[in-house]
């Protein structure tokens, strides 16, 4: 092994760019031209990366190890995908999601629906530290409620994402919120404290946007009261609707808020869903929960809206996301271990001559990483490791780097259709990234605002942690 490692050489910049170009071209042609799923086009990218690794002097055993190593980094995400798939199926069968939709239709009006959705998802993600868990639990009901109110599902998904990613970004329980400062060389509390001001600015703009959007939708008469009543009546005919069935979401939130890890915390949601379902729904059996946990809840009422809302969940319905995650991490594993991304980044470093340009380069690299090595964690790890020394050379605080990583890598992952986050959201909420991306205001506005605020010294601090805007005042 030692001999083969010595025989491998560093890639040239054009070789790494060629591989990235093949990946992007494959995805673009497959998705945009032919409208196919991203899996096979992504596999072409994996093949290109593997062939280049072979040209660089790596043996197949090493390349295979790189792919497996990449997949292993995403195992937690894969486990969460499996569990959330089961959870949604169980909650639908138990009447948990139908009850959430029913009561939501009674309480939420179009004027306040979007703001309420953002706030609910924000609080949930802050308490749990997981955007995926939030969207897979609290995010499912707003999709149904919004649909019942006659609101654009893409708008609803955008509100869910904006809230979920705000909470994920600012929660000390979030893995990305811990990973970004670890890569930058700072502590999590300093990191969160530095993010408060720029994130608050974007969050307020987001709330104002969705507030206006809600009143605009109301004034245009979007909500169809008869449709709302029809949905409520149909849900009551199919399920026993009871406030008792709102207990499982509370269990999940409380469990994770009490620092129970995300996986067992969400698993408690499955267990509590089975228990309350067997109590509240007379027709529910343990076998029906096994079936819905595996294949999802299925019904054919003849009412399009009900069938669209309730035919969902199940482990098998998550195989789309799971397989995409595996393929994406195969590509990421090869690219990282063979230094193909590293040589591109090293070339880009020469462009950054000022703190503002360095922040811009960090964000650009994170976003490109989300698109080319489509896994959120890689977009934090690779740029974080590559640029940390540059921030030190410019005598900048590591919080400047960690903020740039989170303001780009964490939030833009959801906007890439073939990124593991984009694929998960599509599978969970039933809306494609192309549809919801324009409405995910917080997600695309955050990196833009971070870059603009860098000009004013708000998102840049010196090695002592003093923001440039305060230094300039002095």
Mean pLDDT of the chain: 84
Q: What is the pLDDT of residues 136-176, one digit of tens each?
A: 767 877 888 888 777 889 999 999 999 999 988 988 767 78
Confidence of residue 282 (pLDDT cuts 50, 70, 90): confident
Does position 452 have pLDDT exceeding 90, yes or no?
A: yes
Q: What is residue 14's predicted lDDT score, i.e. its pLDDT?
A: 94
Is this prediction's pTM over 0.95?
no
Q: What is the pLDDT of residues 79-109, one digit of tens each?
A: 877 887 898 889 889 998 888 778 876 766 7
By CB neighbour count within 10 A (0-12 exposed, 13-18 middle, 19+ buried), where does 221 fall?
Answer: exposed
Among 104-113, 129-138, 170-179, 330-339, the range of highest mean pLDDT: 330-339
Q: What is the mean pLDDT of residues 340-345?
A: 81
How many CB atoms neighbour CB 28 within 10 A? 11
With b meaning 16 or more CB within 10 Å and e meaning fewer, what string describes 170-181? bbebbbbbbbbb
The fraction of the chain above a pLDDT of 70, given in percent, is 91
Confidence of residue 272 (pLDDT cuts 50, 70, 90): very high
Q: Which of 258-272, 326-340, 367-381 has the lowest mean pLDDT?
A: 367-381
Residue labelled with tokens 């700072």: 186
Measured CA to CA, the distance from residue 283 to residue 288 in angstroms comes to 9
């Amino acid at each position: 092994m030692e001999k083969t490692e010595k025989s491998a050489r560093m890639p040239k910049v054009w070789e790494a760019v060629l591989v990235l170009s093949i990946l992007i071209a494959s995805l673009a042609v497959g998705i945009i031209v032919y409208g196919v799923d991203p899996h096979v086009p992504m596999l072409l990218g994996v093949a290109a990366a593997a062939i280049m690794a072979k040209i660089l002097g790596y043996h197949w055993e090493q390349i295979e190890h790189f792919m497996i190593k990449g997949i292993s980094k995403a195992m937690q995400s894969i486990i969460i995908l499996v569990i959330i798939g089961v959870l949604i199926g169980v909650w639908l069968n138990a009447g948990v999601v139908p009850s959430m939709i029913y009561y939501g239709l009674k309480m939420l009006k179009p004027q306040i629906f979007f703001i309420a959705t953002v706030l609910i998802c924000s609080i949930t993600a802050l308490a749990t530290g997981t955007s995926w868990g939030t969207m897979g639990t609290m995010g499912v009901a707003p999709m149904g409620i919004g649909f019942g109110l006659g609101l654009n599902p893409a708008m609803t998904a955008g509100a869910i994402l904006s809230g979920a990613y705000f909470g994920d970004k600012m929660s000390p329980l979030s893995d990305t919120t811990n990973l970004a400062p670890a890569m930058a060389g700072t502590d999590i509390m300093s990191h969160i404290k530095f993010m408060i001001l720029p994130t608050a600015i974007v969050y307020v703009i987001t709330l104002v946007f969705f507030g206006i959007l809600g009143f605009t939708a109301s004034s245009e008469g979007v909500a169809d009261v008869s449709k709302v009543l029809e949905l409520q009546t149909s849900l009551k005919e199919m399920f026993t609707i009871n406030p008792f069935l709102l207990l499982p979401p509370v269990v999940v939130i409380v469990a994770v808020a009490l620092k129970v890890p995300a996986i067992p915390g969400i698993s408690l949601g499955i267990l509590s869903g089975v228990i309350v379902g067997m109590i509240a729904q007379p027709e529910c059996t343990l076998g029906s929960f096994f079936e819905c946990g595996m294949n999802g809840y299925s019904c054919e009422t003849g009412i399009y809206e009900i069938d669209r809302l309730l035919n969902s969940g199940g482990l098998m319905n998550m195989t789309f996301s799971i397989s995409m995650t595996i393929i994406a991490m195969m590509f990421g594993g090869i690219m990282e271990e063979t230094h193909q991304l590293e040589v591109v980044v090293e070339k880009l470093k020469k462009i950054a001559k000022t703190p503002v340009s360095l922040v811009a380069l960090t964000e650009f690299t994170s976003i490109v990483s989300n698109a080319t090595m489509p896994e959120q964690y890689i977009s934090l790890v690779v740029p974080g490791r590559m640029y940390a020394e540059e921030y030190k050379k410019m005598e900048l605080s590591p919080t400047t780097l960690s903020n740039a990583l989170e303001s780009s890598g964490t939030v833009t992952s959801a906007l890439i259709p073939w990124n593991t986050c984009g694929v998960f959201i599509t599978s969970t909420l039933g809306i494609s990234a192309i549809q919801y991306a324009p409405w995910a205001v917080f997600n695309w506005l955050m990196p833009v605002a971070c870059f603009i605020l860098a000009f004013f010294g708000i998102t840049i601090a010196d090695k002592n942690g003093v923001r440039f805007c305060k230094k300039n005042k002095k």
